[in-house]
Amino acid sequence: MLSQTLAAPPETRTVLVVGRESVGKSQLVSSLTGRSAGETNFRGSTVTVDRYRSGTTEYIDTPGILRSSDTETTRLAIDALNEHDVVLLVVQATSLDQDLSDMLPLVIGKRGVVVVTYWDKVQPGEASQEAIERLEADAGVTFIPVDARSLSDTKRQRIDDALQTPTTFKKGKLVARAGWRIEPKPGWMEQRVVGPLMAIALLFLPALATIYGANAIADWLHPIVASWFDPIIATVNASWPIWLRIVLTAQQGEFGYGLLNMGPFLLVWAFPTVLMFALILGVYKASGLIERINVTLHPLVRPFGLSGRDVVRVMMGFGCNVPAVISTRSCSSCSRGPAVSAIAFGSACSYQLPATLAVLSAAAIATETSAAWLTCMFLAYLLATTLVYLRLTSGRQARNSLNVLMTPSRPFMQWPTPSALWREAAGTVRQFLFQAMPIFVVICVVASLLAHFGVLDLASQFLRPVMALFDLPAQSALPVVLASVRKDGIFLLSADDGLSFPMTSAQALTAVYLAGVLLPCLVTAMTIGRETGWQTTFKLLARQASFATGFALLLAWGGAWLL
């Protein structure tokens, strides 16, 4: 009898891709492999990184390193270097000498290759090629200049061959220099007056797209999905065991807190908004526009404890607070707290914003006021109080005008490719589906139990006398309580296509503000707790509730003079 020896499967080779932020790492690896990204986690961390596999090679695309920063993602990327031997060091041709100075000390002792991206921005000719050869000879490792957006088969094969026999990084500082630094010419965004106005307008574009685009889609989908689930909910309520009804519907009057009531409509209302936000921000990131906005806004937001880079994360919260809070891992330690606070306080998520607009529209009809005027009043007051809140609660170091570590440089602008656009948006969508949704399921169960055992009713009964302090009807207590569980509880202020109970314009503004800002929803609170620790989270919640109460009182008794 002949025995057969099975050939062992080829061993997988792992290559760690490292480089500064915005040098084109993700575009390079995507072009190099021709594959879409999967996800993996840093060991011992919840931070996810993109993983690309091509044949027997697995590329791990680490977060961009900010050499002089203390961000969590930078720390984890540097820690990952201790666990991998082969690296693909990506540097940018336009700032080649600075990138090498920053990154080479981190990879000493590792084996690998240097890929120089944005080579299309360098004047072609013998001088530029000779500079690469000088750097290559000095460093003792292979340098390969490429245009990552249109990687040729020859360059792709050269990188693969070089990684088959990587050489060791022995120098942290080179004598040879490229001798150039290439920067784009200033544009409209760099104008002293026009630039900030353009940057602010571009930041509000995703919110406007949500109001007029994503919400229109949700309005169309809502009755369709309701027609599918209403018969199922009715059957569950009529004949299923009580323990299943508690979890699936938790019907309390006309409102249900269960998975069947809440789950489908999360996707109807939130997913179109998250997707639209992700695509718009993907355009901003892939084109380089996001860095231009960051640079322009940085001096304006620093007095409030934020860097220019943090503002976009706050705007992400208008799509979904969960990806926005997770993205603060890339904030510096001194600005991450203010960024999280701004998201929890001032980012009206895809549930809160449409609910607020519905109530204000109903109030405008009932009081014969302009809906547009009420909406502008609400957004202006939300913005103003958020800035005051940040100014009074952010640390002195975060507000220091000399703290410029997180200020990015002005990048080159380029048209985003469809693959780059989806790659940038996919991360946010994945975070919503696989991190926000599981938390939401837990919240559905918690809310069902709280409703079934009367905790929500008890809380609303307790708050009924308190509503008088805000010049609000007693009935507004339940929407305020429910909004602390899920933000579309604000809808209860405008049931049956009108105001549920008589209110003036000022009272309607106060009600939606208090319900929306008093506390973040439970999904956001749980995400903050997981990201920053529960002790920090409880302090944030208590602080937010106290400030929101004060601002709501000011609006309640001062708003009547304006409306």
pLDDT tens profile 174-230: 999 988 888 877 777 778 888 888 888 888 787 777 667 777 787 788 788 888 888
Output the CA angle 426-429-435, nearest 5 degrees: 125
User: Taking residues 163-167, what's their average pLDDT?
Assistant: 90
The verdict on residue 323 lying in a domain is: yes
Q: What pLDDT sits at residue 547?
A: 97
Q: Which residues of 74-84 are buried (b: 16+ CB within 10 A; e: fewer)?
A: bbbbeebbeeb
Confidence of residue 555 (pLDDT cuts 50, 70, 90): very high
Q: Which tens digit of pLDDT belongs to each residue from 20-50?
A: 877 888 888 888 887 655 555 444 444 566 7
Answer whether residue 407 shows pLDDT above 60.
no
Residue 483 lies in a domain: yes
Task: Decide: residue 365, CB within 10 A, 0-12 exposed, 13-18 middle, 19+ buried.
Answer: middle
Over residues 141-158, the mean pLDDT reads: 89
- Of these ranges, 399-408, 450-459, 474-483, the one predicted with the greatest mean pLDDT is 474-483
Query: Do residue 241 and residue 137 come from a single domain?
Result: no
Q: Are residues 302 and 366 in the same domain?
A: yes
Same domain, 149 and 208: no
* DSSP character at residue 212: I
Which residue shows structure tokens 């009804």? 245
pLDDT surpassing 50 at residue 4:
no
pLDDT band of 51, cuts 50, 70, 90: confident
What is the C-alpha separation between 550 and 186, in angstroms, rounded? 43
- What is the token pair recorded at 364? 């405008």
Does the residue 189 lie in any domain? no
Of 212 and 158, which is predicted with more confidence? 158
Q: How many structural domains comprise the chain?
A: 2
| CA–CA dist 395, 389 (Å, integer) | 12
236, 102: one domain: no
Query: CA of 319: how far to CAs of 136, 346, 386, 477, in Å?
Result: 46, 12, 18, 26
pLDDT of residue 1: 41
More confident residue, 434 or 9: 434
Residue 24 lies in a domain: yes
The pLDDT of residue 142 is above 60: yes
Contact between residue 411 and residue 284 where contact means Cβ atoms under 8 Å apart: no
Tell me, yes or no, whether 502 lies in a domain: yes
* Final residue before a domain boundary, out of 134, 168, 202: 168
Higher pLDDT pick, 471 / 246: 471
Residue linked to tokens 């993602």: 73
Dist. CA 563–CA 553, nearest whole Å:
15
Q: Give me the chain's average pLDDT, please.
A: 81
**Residue 164 and residue 229 in one domain:** no
**Do 67 and 106 fall within a single domain?**
yes
Amino acid in the structure at residue 313:
R
For the stretch 349-359, pLDDT in tens is: 877 887 788 78
Q: What is the pLDDT of residues 253-270, one digit of tens each?
A: 656 667 787 777 667 767
Which one of 100-109, 216-225, 482-491 scores highest in mean pLDDT? 100-109
Please tell me the pTM assigned to this model. 0.75
Strands 143-145 and 13-19: unpaired
* Sequence-ordered list of residues with C-beta below 8 angstroms from that of 180, at least 6 positions apart, any chain: 96, 97, 122, 131
- Structure tokens that stand for 282 in this block: 């993907």
Residues 155 and 206 reside in one and the same domain? no
pLDDT of residue 485: 78
Please check whether residues 273 and 380 belong to one and the same domain.
yes
184 assigned to some structural domain: no
Residue 201 and residue 161 share a domain: no
Better-predicted residue by pLDDT, 251 or 172:
172
pLDDT per position as a tens digit, 504-532:
889 999 999 999 999 998 889 989 998 88
Distance CA 518, CA 344 (A): 10
Does the pLDDT at position 549 exceed 90? yes
* 401 inside domain: no
| Judgement on whether residues 77 and 198 belong to the same structural domain of the protein | no
Q: What is the reported pLDDT for 46?
A: 44
pLDDT at 8 over 50: no
Clarify whether residues 160 and 211 are in a common domain.
no
pLDDT at 458 over 50: yes
Same domain, 154 and 239: no
Say which CATH number the domain at 84 has. 3.40.50.300
**What is the DSSP pairing of strand 167-168 with strand 111-117?**
antiparallel
The pLDDT value given to residue 200: 84
Domain that holds residue 378: 194-395+431-561
Rounded to an integer, the average pLDDT of 108-135 is 89
Query: What is the average pLDDT across 230-259?
Result: 78
State yes or no: pLDDT of 457 exceeds 80.
no
Q: Which two tokens stand for residue 184?
A: 């784009």
Query: How confident is the model at residue 552, as a pLDDT?
Result: 95
Residue where a domain stops, chosen among 134, 150, 168: 168
3-class SS of residue 388:
helix
Any domain includes 174: no
User: What's the one-letter identity of residue 133?
Assistant: E
Phi, psi of 470 (to 5 degrees): -100, 15
For residues 441 and 526, the answer to whether their CB atoms sit within 8 Å is: no
The whole-number average pLDDT for the span 542-552 is: 96
CA–CA gap between residue 53 and residue 83 (Å, rounded): 19
d(CA 232, CA 251): 13
Pick the more confident residue, 320 or 471.
471
Strands 251-252 and 167-168: unpaired
